[in-house]
Chains A and B, each alone.
Chain A
Amino acid sequence: MLDQLQLTGQRVIAVFARLGQATLFLYQIIMTLPGLMLRPSLIIKQLYSTGVQTLLIIVVAGCFVGMVLALQAYYVLVDFGAEDSISQMVVLTLMRELGPVITGLLFAGRAGSALTAEIGLMKSTEQLSGMEMMAIDPMQRVMAPRILAGFLAMPLLTAVFMAVGVLGGYLVAVHGVGIFEGVYWSLAQLKVDFYSDLMNGMIKSIVFGFVIVWIAVFEGYDSVPTSEGLGQATTRTVVHGSLAVLGLDFLLTAIMFGDI
């Protein structure tokens, strides 16, 4: 009984200790950012591996999500003779929720796991210690460009996801079930607010991107430098990243759209 209690206490303390480590880690990285600005090539290289290489899965997923949304909206709305409203449903769903959330989940799975594995492997092959030996700060050379690149890539990916989703919905609504083209766009314009819908979705994506790369880079940096530890760290990145996205999404939605 007492052992059990002790174990629980230990776990809780460990959670807080990790959170503290992660925060200090982030602080160290932010401190190195001004120096990083002098070397944009590092950020561009990371933008390529986090952004460009994630683009394909984002485009394909966005297209199918938009198409499915339009089809499901049609099946429900046609009973009420309100199938013209498909565009509102597709666009609002994509902008407010699905755009940032699905992009976040895919980003955590595609880019986050790769970041963790890469940094974890650097650690286990002692490349990070090697850099320190050569008086190169790995925080600035390795961690900071990755964090900044993920932070920049995520809103761009979300915008692409939303746009492709809207076009996918357009494809199904106009060419699939026969809504008039003008109705599709004009009803969306009527209901979708630039600030409260599009910008809030973008703010969500920025928050998600920041949290995902933070988790990913920290898990890599903090991983146990064995093949098993590396696998666990990668899994943790995807699990914690996805849960953080979903949890934060509820919180942000409550703040932005609700009266809670």
Chain B
Amino acid sequence: MNSKTVEIAVGIFVALGIAAFFMLAMKVSNLISYESASGYQISARFDNIGGLRERSPVAVGGVRIGKVSSIEYDNETYEAVVVMEIEPKYNRFPTDTSAGILTAGLLGEQYVGLEPGAEEKFLISGGEITVTQSAIVLEEIIGQFLYSKADEK
């Protein structure tokens, strides 16, 4: 075989391998969303975060606008502090915005849903949402249901 042909074939092979890797990185993995979310940070305090994890989505009206960047436990108020990273272009949240931990579908993963309020002022980066609603824990609801049934009798 001609050595030129060999070189061309190997060149195509290497290019194909690298192209495949980039396609996987860009199209299939979350590499892009690593970079896009940065800048605008807001935090919220919850009594119970349920199954929320780092990198869980943050959504407004069902549209994904950011992700949870860290979850910590506040030793003094006994609450969970969830810090969210919102894409910089969505930096207009009123100060009375409320946050809730919701579930996608019946058994889907949990995400933070924001509900914009009506105030004229906007939250600055690093601001905190005061109106929050904790995750719904299925066991608690079942427990309450059983107790209420028992009370009826």
Residue numbers of A with Cβ under 8 A of B are 41, 44-45, 47-48, 51-52, 55, 91, 95, 153, 155-157, 159-160, 162-164, 166, 185, 188-190, 192-194, 197-198, 202
Contact = CB atoms under 8 A, between A and B. Distances in A.
B16 interface: yes
A194 B34 contact: yes
Contacts of B6: 44-45, 48
Nearest to A156: B17
Contact of A162 (B18, B20, B30, B32): B20
Contacts, number: 80
The majority secondary structure among interface residues of chain A is helix
17 contacts: A45-B3, A48-B6, A48-B13, A51-B13, A55-B13, A55-B16, A155-B17, A156-B20, A157-B17, A159-B18, A159-B21, A160-B20, A162-B20, A188-B29, A189-B28, A198-B25, A198-B29
B137 interface: no
B31 interface: yes
Nearest to A197: B29
B70 interface: no
The 7 closest A-B pairs by CB, nearest first: A156-B17, A163-B20, A159-B20, A159-B21, A194-B31, A194-B29, A192-B29
A135 B83 CA distance: 67
A194 B25 contact: yes
A192 B30 contact: yes
A71 to B, nearest CB: 19
B144 interface: no
B23 to A, nearest CB: 5
Given A157-B17, A159-B17, 10 more contacts: A48-B9, A51-B13, A51-B14, A55-B13, A95-B24, A160-B17, A163-B23, A189-B33, A194-B34, A202-B21
Interface size class of B (residues with CB under 8 A): 20 to 34
Most chain A CB within 10 A, of B17, B21, B30, is at B17
Contact of B24 (A52, A156, A166): A166
A52 B3 contact: no
The majority secondary structure among interface residues of chain B is helix
Most chain A CB within 10 A, of B23, B32, B33, is at B23
A91 B16 CA distance: 19
Contacts of B28: 91, 166, 185, 188-189, 192, 198
B118 to A, nearest CB: 32
A52 B94 CA distance: 59
Contacts of B3: 41, 45
B10 interface: yes
A156 B29 contact: no
B29 A189 contact: yes
B24 A193 contact: no
Nearest to A85: B108
A156 B34 contact: no
Contacts of A160: 16-17, 20
Contacts of A192: 28-30
A202 to B, nearest CB: 8
B76 interface: no
A47 B24 contact: no
Nearest to A201: B24
A218 B143 CA distance: 66
Interface in B1-17: 1, 3, 6-7, 9-10, 12-14, 16-17
Contacts of A95: 24
Contacts of B121: none
Contacts of B89: none
A52 B29 contact: no
